[in-house]
Amino acid sequence: MKRFILLMVINLGLLSISSASAQKFDNLAKTPPMGWNSWNKFACNIDENTIKGVADAMVSSGLRDAGYVYLNLDDCWHGSRDANGFITADSTKFPSGIKALADYVHSKGLKIGIYSDAGRQTCGGRPGSLGHEYQDALTYAKWGIDYLKYDWCNTENVNPKGAYTLMRDALHAAGRPIVFSMCEWGQSKPWTWAKDVGHLWRTTGDIYNCFDCIDDHGSWKAFGVMQILAMQDTLRKYAGPGHWNDPDMLEVGNGQKVNQDRAHFTMWCMLAAPLILGNDIRTMSKETAGIILNKEVVALDQDTLGLQGLNFETKDSVQVWLKPLAGGDWAFCLLNATTKDISFPIDWQHYNFTDKEVSGRSTDFDRIKYRIRNLWTKKNEGATSSNKTVNVPSQDVVLYRLTPVKK
């Protein structure tokens, strides 16, 4: 009992210090985080051996070297709280404990993430962090955690801004730099207030493994790729280095068609979204690997300018997206969400455009000639001095990187 009282005194002391000086950790997530999360494929069916196998595969597949460095446990790793209120791991699933697992992940040159919830319980019914924020943050620091996904189930009468700020303060007080991923589903419009609280925040409800549909559960809905994409475009001014809009994890490799996966991955890169894989990378196909390991496409997402793309227009059922890139380059993407191939004429002068809302950058097609690089065929296709007509396959994309031609 004395030990418990002492711990509470320490927590209160940390709380009083943090209220005056706490902040989120700087110099993290300067580009959108890349990694893997257990939920989309495994849900609650995770254990120590599975996670170690994924860590091994992240190295052997080349994912780590491509930038996918965060290996994140989602819900259901938890055991109970001990007599003093500290969280423990499920001893059956993780008999060696999370610290040993973190050491293994770190030995592979990776970083490890963990999951909790701002409410009484997690979405999977495990202990949440409500009332234990400082204890949990201290535990994560002790274990060597690098990333925290913080969910929003069982949060009746909890204020989101207060809850997420409290956990931010707790993480800062614990002293270990941890990427803070806010999973509040966009309900309180966190993009308007969370720049100084989290490194990324969910903008919608959960993704559903479907290209263009809604999974309606009555009291809540999960959304397909196209539904989530439609919710992002008005949010671009809120994203940037260290503070990203998060349209949820990737479903690439979980059973959709290759063209749909390619379109899904492309649009997340155009959005400068976190690239958090959700497939079983231990057994992924060559087609899936070819998508998520396309370094030229990943480079659009990881561009140091750190800007989210925009939907310039929808014409003849094709969405035209533009994204300003570092060094004067632009990404130019045609997305065909329909079930038929579309022949699409490109008149470059039509896309003379100044991004007044965010970057101030102009395409200047009337005075700049760009070299055209097709990032999926990995072929050069001439220059913007000539108009062209391209075939945009059904539920697929044509993706170009445009680079100014030096005179």
pLDDT exceeds cutoff 60 at 9: no
Q: Which residue reads 């966190």 in tokens?
A: 190
Residue-wise pLDDT tens digits, 297-328? 999 999 999 999 999 999 999 999 999 999 99
State mean pLDDT over 196-220.
94
Say if residue 7's pLDDT is above 60. no
Q: What is the pTM (predicted TM-score) of this model?
A: 0.94
Among 151, 248, 355, 396, the one annotated catalytic? 151
Q: What angle do CA 242, 244, 246 make, to 5 degrees?
A: 145
**Angle 2-21/160-174 helices, nearest 10 degrees?**
100
C-alpha 232/C-alpha 234 separation (Å) is 6
Instruction: Count Cα neighbours of 242 within 13 Å in the Cβ-side half-sphere.
Output: 10
Mean pLDDT of 71-86: 98
**How many Å apart are CA 306 and CA 286, to the nearest integer?**
29
pLDDT (average), residues 53-59: 98
Is the Cβ–Cβ distance between 38 and 74 less than 8 Å? yes
Per-residue confidence band for 18, with pLDDT thresholds at 50, 70 and 90: very low
212 is a catalytic site residue? no
Give pLDDT, residue 333: 98
Q: Is the pLDDT reported for residue 388 higher than 80? A: yes
Contact residues for 372 (Cβ-Cβ < 8 A; gap 6+) = 380, 381, 382, 383, 384, 400, 401, 402
End-to-end CA distance of the chain: 76
Distance of alpha carbon 227 from its chain centroid, rounded? 17
pLDDT of 233: 86
> Quick one: average pLDDT of 238-254?
98
Domains along the chain with CATH numbers: 2-301 (3.20.20.70), 310-404 (2.60.40.1180)
Kindly tell me if the per-residue pLDDT of 406 is higher than 90. Answer: no
Query: What number is the average pLDDT over the span 11-23?
Result: 52
> Chain-wide mean pLDDT for the chain?
94
Contact 185, 204 (CB under 8 A): yes
DSSP code of 24?
P
Instruction: Report pLDDT for 21.
Output: 64
Position 2 pLDDT exceeds 60: no
Which tens digit of pLDDT belongs to each residue from 100-146? 999 999 999 999 999 999 999 999 999 999 999 999 999 999 999 99
Under the banding of pLDDT at 50, 70 and 90, the label for residue 5 is very low
Beta strand 342-346 with 388-392 is antiparallel
User: Active-site residue among 146, 169, 206, 261?
Assistant: 206
Residue 168: both structure tokens together: 């931010």
Q: What is the pLDDT of residue 196?
A: 97
- Known catalytic residue: 151? yes
Mean pLDDT of 149-178: 98
